Amino acid sequence: MTLNHSQPALNAYAPYSYRDDPAVPDFDDSRGLFIFDHHCVLCTGGVGFIMKHDKRRAIAFTSAQEGLGAALSAHYKIDWDERFLFLHKGRATLKIDGYFAVARAMGGLWHIPTVFRIIPRFILDRVYDVVARNRYKWFGQTQEACAVLSEDQRARLI
């Protein structure tokens, strides 16, 4: 994870710490919030996949490059070149832990992928890092925000 090392590590933040940050707009945090790179085809495709399979609508979505997402990325000192952020119950998660948290938030059979937690985190994070560094090269990028999302899916963005 790329953080400004003069700032606290992500796990050093108290749950719901963003509520005390005047730069972060108020938002409904009763659901999980998936903050993603809207120029990344892989990222927006992943958002579309989660939206399609999140029948309970347990997860909300916002772009890292605008408004709420930009404020949260500044709050957590995140470099969006290689990460996404998932907030759930006030706690922030990144990398592979973030995807496991998404699976848990979706519930049902989506808990099954968490079995991969038996693989050491440093291995899973390495795989994540390789994909993250190469995502534009392998999957492409778009200048049109959320171009791969349907109109209905775009309406679900905060």
Q: Copy the structure tokens of residue 106.
A: 């979706």
Per residue in 79-115, pLDDT (tens digit) is 776 677 899 999 999 888 888 999 999 988 888 878 8
Q: Is the pLDDT of residue 38 over 90?
A: no
Contacts of residue 158, defined as CB under 8 A and 6 or more positions apart, other chains included, come to 27, 33, 60, 61, 62, 68
Q: How many residues does the chain have?
A: 158
Cα angle 1, 7, 101; round to 5:
40
Show the tokens assigned to 80: 């969006």
Q: Please determine, for residue 2, whether its predicted confidence score (pLDDT) is greater than 50.
A: no
Q: What is the mean pLDDT of residues 71-84?
A: 81
How far is Cα 21 from Cα 158, in angstroms, rounded to an integer?
Answer: 18
Helix (H) / strand (E) element for 104: namely: helix 95-106
Q: Note if the pTM is more than 0.85.
A: no
Query: Could you tell me what percent of the chain has a pLDDT over 70?
Result: 85
pLDDT band with cut points at 50, 70 and 90 for residue 9: low
Q: Quick check: 7 pLDDT over 60? A: no
Instruction: Spell out the long-range contacts of 98-105 with Cβ–Cβ below 8 A and sequence spacing 24 or more.
Output: 101/32, 102/32, 102/34, 102/50, 102/59, 105/31, 105/32, 105/58, 105/59
Question: In 116-128, which positions are buried (b, 16+ CB within 10 angstroms) versus exposed (e)?
Answer: eeeeeeeebbeeb
